[in-house]
Amino acid sequence: MSHVQGKDKNIGDIYRDSLKASEEYEACLTTTIYGSTYLDPEKCKARSFDPIKALEEEEKRINLSGEWIERTADEKGFRAMFQEFIANAPSEYVNKDLKFPNCFDYLDDSPKKENKGNKNCKKLSKKVFNLPMK
């Protein structure tokens, strides 16, 4: 089982560790003839899988992931953070062929560039910016 390290972890490493833990958990599941699924203590013991420890590690990974997103967005801007996330996250979590990051330009503090992408993005951004504030 992997262990959670400090803030220097790459977002891809965090998600890969999470994926490994998920696979270990699923390997310890047993399905009855009636279709019910439960965590089998014998399988967990045989695989040296501790579900409580795995849950604690997953909580740490979730927190590290959130911290990475906030830190990277503050340092590099939302667009750069989003592109780095797409590049580093395992393909099980993201579609590597995403073409819509331009839709998120309004979230970035960097100077605005003309959106040359999807026309629906322009319509969406106009709707978002023209919403009445309460």
pLDDT tens per residue, range 28-67: 999 999 999 999 999 999 999 999 999 999 999 999 999 9
Determine the pLDDT at residue 127.
46
Torsion sign across C-alpha atoms 85, 91, 97, 98 = negative
Tell me the whole-structure pTM to 2 decimals. 0.63
pLDDT tens per residue, range 84-112: 888 888 777 776 665 555 555 556 555 55
Confidence of residue 78 (pLDDT cuts 50, 70, 90): confident
What is the rounded end-to-end Cα distance, in angstroms, of the chain?
Answer: 49
Among 86, 89, 74, which residue's Cα sits nearest to residue 18?
89
pLDDT higher than 70, residue 115: no
Among 114, 112, 110, which residue's Cα sits nearest to residue 122?
114
